[in-house]
Amino acid sequence: MKKDKFHGIKPLTVILLCISIFGIWHLWKTWVRNKKAKDKLQTLLPEIAGALSDFDLLTNFENYFSNFREQQFLQIKSALAKSIPRFYNEVGLSTTETELITRFLTCYKNLAKERADYNDLFVKCESKKYAYLFDSLETYPLSTDQVEAIVRDEDNNLVIAGAGTGKTTTISAKVAYLLEKKLAKPQDLLIISFTKNAVNEMYDRCMKFCRDIPDADQLDIRTFNSFGYFVTRFCSSKEVLLAFDGKDDEAKSFLQERFSYLFKNDPDFQKKAVNFIAFFNRPERDEFSYESKDEYLKYEKSHKNVTLDGKQVNSKEEVQIGNFLCLFKIKYEYQKHYPLQLEDRNANFAAYRPDFYFPEYEIWHEHYGIDRDGNVPSWFAVKHPFKTGRETYHSGILWKEAIHEKYRTKLIKTYSYENKENTLLTNLKKRLEGLGVELKKRTNEELYELIQQSPDYGDFINLIHTFLGLLKSNGKQPGDIQIPKEDKRLKTFIDVFTPLFDEYERKLTHEHSVDFNDMINLATSHIAAGDYPRTYKYILVDEFQDMSLGRYELLKSLRKRHPEGKLYAVGDDWQSIFRFSGSDISIITEFAEHLGFTSQSAILTSYRFNDEILKTTSNFIQKNPGQIKKTLATTSKATNPSFLFHGLELSGRQLLEKQTIKHQCIRHILEGISAIQSEAVVFLIGRYRHNIPTKLQQLKDEFPKLNIAFFTAHSVKGLTADFSILLDVDSGVFGFPSEIADDPILNAVLHESDKFENAEERRLFYVATTRARHRNYLLYDMLNPSKFVTELIQLNSNTGLMSQTRCPECNGILVKRTGAYGEFYGCVHYPQCTGKIAVNAVI
């Protein structure tokens, strides 16, 4: 039998033969792969070299390497990078060719880090290169922080600049740098601020810095309103008129006129308006939410607590009861003295005064501050021999009821929990009718007169006007407001607001006019539609902290029309004070989330005020956790106390007497300032225009060398004085903080991050206290001080107030007073709190 030709070959030999064949095949395949890859790579080498040349141009220290350019580079070179195989260094390319590819891939994959490193180095080189410019703009060279903020040229640039750090100088220097470096022509820049004064100052500064640059006078420097008006007129075929001539007072007058018309002619509107002003005008706050009696009394003092018929009461619930009685023509006396026989009197307690008394029916009324389980707020006083506030309060309830039973007097009772359950007035009505009390509805004429004369009417119109502006600035309608089911106050307000809003819009439509919010919104629409042909390489915004959602949308539309355009925003979230015109602080505190990749710089050296003012005001403003944390610095050292507190006993005095006392105090302060600095600039700062001293001109005449001027806390922003005198820093609806400005209703059209209590007012007070170089003087009513005064007192030792020893009754502040038996320290909340300490008891 013939043998197989493979017979006798060992299996190992077969395996080796197979491996050899496979190896040869693999080598051939690899050679073919590499040959193709090499050929392809060699054809790509010019493109790779071109990509590296592009990168070199981006990093040649001629310009800042922006995120837009990075993303553009990555997008354009993406296909090239993907076409390079990972085994490119194995295909037989020369060392030079391999290094070229390696450099490109390294650059591509690590471009973000390469860009960041380059930009840091660029800033240093550019700062030196243009030192001749930065050192010559002002009488002193710009700071390192300012120069870096100017040279960084990202797509979005946010410069956080503290008070007195030179925001206007920085923006104007940025303009000079852009034009000097020829990054843009004057026509390529749009420079925006928020007020006419700021725009005028910016224009003057830019003209000064760019005096040697051709066509610098063509710079477009405007307010947002002016720019919106310009774009709207440019893009509209019909004439555009400004509603109410742009005057808030005229707009408010129109709202008042329409309110009167609707009140007299629309029964449903009248009912809702009376309901809001009488029972929902004040924000609701549960007594159980306060931590101390001092906190409770401060809050109550910040509101008028005056009924429709002009009676001063102690709480919101008592205002509601008083208004109910007034609306139904029930005659009453508030806290009338209840006569007691000798055996029922107690020298340790004040006279018995029930909350209300109805003389026509000889009925007494007590309103008890307890919840449905009989509990009282934790801060209620504890008196011997009782161990808790609840026991003390309930012993009082039992005593009062025993008195009425003993004297056979009629007593009705209401409770705080009824107000929380929205049954207070319904139950009061039932109890009154059950005792034969006749309820008579007032006529329309009587209701109108009551509402018009109400101390809350002016606040209500202001709230309507503020809410309207905020609503329109956000591009919303009343129907867009989300009303929580449990928020009856907001629902009642919207019911009254909506007809007034409709009247306002009809007025504008009929007269073919637009208000400032319309201008911004219309301009945004025109730009987005391509109706406005002009584009800008750079948009520079001053006071960016005052940006509203409407203005933000305007900026977005401009950026979308020119994606390569850059935004340069300078601001200080600590000084965001225009939310009544729609500003949304979140746009600066969450800048990158809104606008994308951002380069953030900080200018933190203040040249305005000394270290004591800096420390005190910085601590004060950062009580709000929503503010951006930053540490300011100053080279100026305080040599004397920088906060002086002047408490005046004004409560209970006639208006003329109050004005005389304040005038004498201001005069005394000015005498002291004259002795320190004879030609000083002195600002008198009030929360409102009505805080202006009645004899201001007399003070100016008496101190001719002093430059004395009055400003509101809003209008003084951006200005500097040697000394500031803050007037009427008291509690109250028109105090400082102003309670009307922080009405929770506004939160329906505000960003959530700004819901810290008195957040806007805190920033406004910060602005007011950071105007002076050397010292702030604070004038306030000793018996009604602002909560901000008490905070600053705790931050300063030179106060003249008892800041260490607190009131034994409510834990409030004690002030030195004089009584029938000499001097003593009494509570600032008198007569609501009668706590006091003898002078010799204080160590």
Closest CA to 832 of 298, 323, 273: 298
Q: What does the pLDDT look like over 783-814, one tens digit per residue?
A: 778 889 988 887 765 444 444 467 888 877 77
Residue 559 is predicted with a pLDDT of 92
Q: What does the pLDDT look like over 465-510, one tens digit per residue?
A: 989 988 988 888 999 999 998 899 999 999 999 999 999 999 999 9
**Tokens in use for 230?**
């310009």
- Three-class DSSP labels, 606-662: ECCCCHHHHHHHHHHHCCCCCCCCCCCEECCCCCCCCEEEEEECCCCCCHHHHHHHH
Answer yes or no: is 168 a known binding residue: yes
Residue 328's Cβ-count burial label (10 Å; 0-12, 13-18, 19+) is middle
- Three-class DSSP labels, 518-559: HHHHHHHHHHHCCCCCCCCCEEEECCHHHCEHHHHHHHHHHH
**CA dist., res. 339 & res. 352, Å (int):** 8
Answer yes or no: is 166 a known binding residue: yes
Closest CA to 300 of 309, 312, 308: 312
Q: What does the pLDDT look like over 655-676, one tens digit per residue?
A: 788 889 999 999 999 999 999 9
**CA dist., res. 589 & res. 611, Å (int):** 26
Q: What does the pLDDT look like over 239-264, one tens digit per residue?
A: 889 999 988 899 999 999 999 999 99
Answer yes or no: is 165 a known binding residue: yes
Residue 467 is predicted with a pLDDT of 92
Alpha helix segments (H runs only) across 562-600: 586-589, 591-595
Q: How confident is the model at residue 9 (pLDDT cuts 50, 70, 90)?
A: low
- The residues near 460 (Cβ < 8 Å, ≥ 6 apart) are 276, 277, 281
Q: What does the pLDDT look like over 82-107, one tens digit per residue?
A: 999 888 888 888 899 999 999 999 99
Most confident of 293-307, 344-358, 507-521: 507-521
Q: How confident is the model at residue 523 (pLDDT cuts 50, 70, 90)?
A: very high
Q: How confident is the model at residue 448 (pLDDT cuts 50, 70, 90)?
A: very high
Name the one residue in this structure whose structure tokens are 């300490």: 837
Query: How far, CA to CA in Å, does 511 sit from each of 505, 521, 561?
Result: 10, 18, 32
Q: What does the pLDDT look like over 583-620, one tens digit per residue?
A: 888 889 889 988 899 999 999 999 899 999 999 999 99
Is the confidence at residue 842, as pLDDT, over 70? no
Mean of per-residue pLDDT scores for the chain: 89
DSSP H/E element including 803: strand 802-806
- Alpha-carbon dihedral angle through residues 658, 661, 662, 663, given to the nearest 10 degrees: 120
**CA dist., res. 702 & res. 300, Å (int):** 39
**CA dist., res. 547 & res. 754, Å (int):** 14
Q: What does the pLDDT look like over 254-291, one tens digit per residue?
A: 999 999 999 999 999 999 999 999 999 888 878 888 88
**CA dist., res. 413 & res. 428, Å (int):** 8
- Going 338 to 344 to 349 to 355, the CA torsion angle's sign is negative
Helix (H, G, I), strand (E, B) or coil at 668: helix
Would you say 321 and 428 are in contact if contact means Cβ atoms under 8 Å apart?
yes
Is the confidence at residue 18, as pLDDT, over 90? no
**CA dist., res. 226 & res. 516, Å (int):** 9
Residue 154 is predicted with a pLDDT of 95
Residue 799 is predicted with a pLDDT of 42
Answer yes or no: is 164 a known binding residue: yes
Choice between 555 and 805, residue whose per-residue pLDDT is larger = 555
626: phi then psi, degrees, rounded to nearest 5: -80, -10
**Tokens in use for 303?**
């509101």
Residue 530 is predicted with a pLDDT of 93
Residue 794 is predicted with a pLDDT of 77
Residue 4 is predicted with a pLDDT of 55
Answer yes or no: is 672 a known binding residue: no
- CB < 8 Å & 24+ apart, contacts of 376-379: 377/287, 377/288, 377/290, 377/296, 378/288, 378/291, 379/290, 379/291, 379/292, 379/293, 379/295, 379/296, 379/810
Report which DSSP code applies to 350.
P
Query: How far, CA to CA in Å, does 462 sit from each of 308, 639, 645, 663?
Result: 18, 43, 31, 29
The per-residue DSSP string of 685-744 comes to: EESSGGGS-TTHHHHHHHSTTSEEEEEETTTTTT--EEEEEE---B-STTSSS-TGGG-G
**Tokens in use for 249?**
């007072």
pLDDT (average), residues 431-445: 95
Residue 843 is predicted with a pLDDT of 41
pLDDT (average), residues 12-31: 73
600: phi then psi, degrees, rounded to nearest 5: -110, 130
Q: What does the pLDDT look like over 133-188, one tens digit per residue?
A: 999 999 889 999 999 999 999 999 999 999 999 999 999 999 999 999 999 999 99
Q: How confident is the model at residue 302 (pLDDT cuts 50, 70, 90)?
A: low
Q: What does the pLDDT look like over 368-414, one tens digit per residue?
A: 999 999 999 999 988 888 999 999 999 999 999 999 999 999 999 99
The per-residue DSSP string of 124-185 comes to: HHHHHHTHHHHTTSSSSPPPHHHHHHHH---SEEEEEE-TTS-HHHHHHHHHHHHHHTTSS-
Answer yes or no: is 161 a known binding residue: yes
Pick the range with the lowest mean pLDDT from 165-169, 449-453, 571-575, 648-652: 648-652
Q: What does the pLDDT look like over 729-773, one tens digit per residue?
A: 988 767 898 876 667 888 888 766 566 888 889 999 999 999 999
First to last CA, the chain: 131
Answer yes or no: is 35 a known binding residue: no
